[in-house]
Chains A and B, each alone.
Chain A
Amino acid sequence: ETGVTQTPRHLVMGMTNKKSLKCEQHLGHNAMYWYKQSAKKPLELMFVYNFKEQTENNSVPSRFSPECPNSSHLFLHLHTLQPEDSALYLCASSQATGTSFPYEQYFGPGTRLTVT
């Protein structure tokens, strides 16, 4: 058990659906991340939140909308997705972000998303 949980573990949705992915960390961390892992491609960092404030948005399409109501919870709201958005979506947390100190990232098990 890594201390980072994600729900649901599997999700199948049509292109017109709206769904949300949830991530919760029980480690007392202040930073949370969303990553996308597609087959045969490196993990892609999507969003970073530090103390509930978004610090990074790596040119992610607006059909992905993150929300961080507090330091323990992170959501990824999905709407009008495309089949190429099918992937494993991973959430991670760390004590904080930045480069003043190396903060180790801890990952959840991921949500396997299939867009039909």
Chain B
Amino acid sequence: EAGVAQSPRYKIIEKRQSVAFWCNPISGHATLYWYQQILGQGPKLLIQFQNNGVVDDSQLPKDRFSAERLKGVDSTLKIQPAKLEDSAVYLCASSLSGSRDNEQFFGPGTRLTVL
């Protein structure tokens, strides 16, 4: 069974530029998550989708970050404009449902460096 796919794996941009990350979850998984992992910290949930609807985006900096999951399958996370503090690994995860204790499967992540 294919795992969660993410691209690109690495991205380097200048501050104030925009960037987009793509995620393809495991087939059949209704719930998709985006996490931000800053160096030396644990992953922090940015946004959670159930199919194509947002369940939780309370920690998403909405002035610069946006995410969509238009057809309830793959998802895109965008940052515009980027700041130095956005340098982090962006992790996508998926689970069969959003019910508590449903195992989340993580992709390899996209490492973003903002110069």
- Chains A and B are bound partners: no
Chain B contacts to A: CB under 8 angstroms: none
Chain A contacts to B: CB under 8 angstroms: none
